Structure 1
Amino acid sequence: MKKAVIFDMDGVLIDSEPFYFKRRMNFFKEKGIHPGSNKFEDYVGNSEKQTWEMLVPENEEKQKELHQEYLKYKQHHGIDFTKALRSSVPYVLNILSEKGVSLGLASSSPRNEINKMLTDCQLEKYFSFTISGEEVTESKPNPEIYLISREQLNCESYLAVEDSTLGIASAKSAGIFTVALKQAFSMDQQAADIIIDELEELLKLPRLIK
């Protein structure tokens, strides 16, 4: 049976959500503007579009203006993906690849962020298919991103690895067995089929070793 594992990026492969949140809040503080929400949990798992709708609600013109300024701000306040990468990721991806498991990446992040992470961390070789939040009509929790991933990977058995409530809902709605990676902060992961503490636990799952 041909198997596939589809990974989310932020919160799963890289521990990036706290960095992104702090960067956004610092940007708004420097601008002297109050964001629509300053609660960390309101942003976890969101697409770029969802994030900015939360940051600047009910003012699309202002939202677009600040987003463009933020894109320039990001260039001078970039994340070091090699430091954000979870230490076990290369090992886990290598073992799964050696077992003949097809690997996919389904992230709500922009395409350029995904590509930079894969390049900086030298992970491109492991993934048969990658898709960003910019390449779907509806973002998570809509299942579209996982339905497309399933179709492109063309396997008989699928497993998704997620962290956020939205991501778990997306994978489950696509009919995929979903593993949630426990986070250091509070996150509703109850809808997942199982919850793991470390990515290495994937290598012991009966769905992948049988």
Structure 2
Amino acid sequence: MTLGVIFDMDGVLIDSESFYFERRMNFFKEKKLTPGSKNKLDFVGLTEAGIWQVLVPDVENRAILKKEYQKYRKAHPLDFVKALRCDVKEVLAYLKYNQIKIALASSSPENEIKAMLNQNNLESFFDFVISGESLTKSKPHPEIYLLSKEALHCDNYIAVEDSPVGIASAKAAQLYTIALKQDFPINQNEADLIIDNLSDVINVVENWSKYKIMRNT
């Protein structure tokens, strides 16, 4: 039996949702504009395109502001080393040592994913990496997880998510789905299991036979 573990990035490997949200709000504040939503939960788990549909409902203005924001984002980058959760390397090292396939399936832009992996020296851990830019349909559609499953080619899979749309995407692809608890209110009830720390993934893998049986009963 082979096992593959597929991680989301934002909110899972890195604690970034609050930083991204504040950066967007500051951009609109400096522009003296009101965004389509000031509720952080409206953006959690969305692709770049989905985020901007919420931020700027008007298509014409959206394209202009999005282009300006690209420059703003470069001038205000996230420090991925500081954002990395403390137990990420422990979990990835454990999975790699035990010959478990690892994928990263994130709605974030490809350049953000590459920057995170590069700054934290994590590239060698992953057997497959896919961004939201590679998709025809974004989460909660299961495409990102279906492509990840195809690439890893395992008998069983575990997804590690945080947002409702990410959980829905993984469940639709028929993955056993773990939700990492966040420090803000978010509905994770559709996940198979909610964990407090990323290192809890190790326990699930070590006891996979038990969790697999519980899922099928």
Q: What TM-score, normalized by structure 1, do the two folds share?
A: 0.98
Q: Do 1:203 and 1:209's aligned partners in 2 also have CA atoms closer than 8 Å?
A: no
Q: Distance in 1 between matches of 2:210 and 2:45?
A: 29
Partner of 1:161: 160
Q: Distance in 2 between matches of 1:107 and 1:200?
A: 20
Aligned length: 209
Q: Distance in 2 between matches of 1:55 and 1:137?
A: 21
Partner of 1:67: 66
Letter in 2 for 1:200: S
Structure 1 consecutive aligned stretches of length 4 or more whose deviation exceeds 2 Å: none
Q: What TM-score, normalized by structure 2, do the two folds share?
A: 0.95
Q: Distance in 1 between matches of 2:200 and 2:56?
A: 39
Query: Equivalent residue of 1:199, what SS?
Result: coil
**1:124-181 CA-partner distances (Å, limit 9, x unpaired):** 0000000000000010000000000000110111000000000000000000000000
Q: Distance in 2 between matches of 1:208 and 1:72?
A: 49
Q: Do 1:165 and 1:188's aligned partners in 2 also have CA atoms closer than 8 Å?
A: yes
- Structure 1 residues not aligned, in runs of 5+: none
Q: Distance in 2 between matches of 1:62 and 1:122?
A: 38
Q: Distance in 1 between matches of 2:208 and 2:102?
A: 15
Percent of residue pairs bearing the same amino acid type: 54
Q: Distance in 1 between matches of 2:210 and 2:193?
A: 16
Mapping of 1:10-89 within 5 angstroms? 10-57=10-57, 59-89=58-88
Partner of 1:103: 102
Task: Give the direction of change, closer, same or farther, for the CA distance of 1:111–1:76 in structure 2 (3 Å limit).
Answer: same
Q: Do 1:2 and 1:155's aligned partners in 2 also have CA atoms closer than 8 Å?
A: yes
Q: Do 1:202 and 1:208's aligned partners in 2 also have CA atoms closer than 8 Å?
A: no
Q: Distance in 1 between matches of 2:30 and 2:37?
A: 16
RMSD over equivalenced CA pairs, Å:
1.1
* Alpha-carbon offset, residue 61 of structure 1: 1.2
**1:109-129 CA-partner distances (Å, limit 9, x unpaired):** 000000010000100000000
Letter in 2 for 1:17: E
* Alpha-carbon offset, residue 207 of structure 1: 1.4
Q: Distance in 1 between matches of 2:209 and 2:199?
A: 12
Partner of 1:122: 121
Task: Give the direction of change, closer, same or farther, for the CA distance of 1:84–1:208 in structure 2 (3 Å limit).
Answer: farther
Letter in 2 for 1:26: N
Q: Distance in 2 between matches of 1:93 and 1:183?
A: 20
Query: Equivalent residue of 1:185, what SS?
Result: coil
- Structure 2 residues not aligned, in runs of 5+: 212-217
* Alpha-carbon offset, residue 80 of structure 1: 0.1
Q: Distance in 1 between matches of 2:49 and 2:130?
A: 16
* Alpha-carbon offset, residue 209 of structure 1: 9.4
Q: Distance in 2 between matches of 1:85 and 1:56?
A: 30
* Alpha-carbon offset, residue 208 of structure 1: 7.6
**1:78-137 CA-partner distances (Å, limit 9, x unpaired):** 000000000100111001110110000000000000001000010000000000000000
Letter in 1 for 2:20: Y
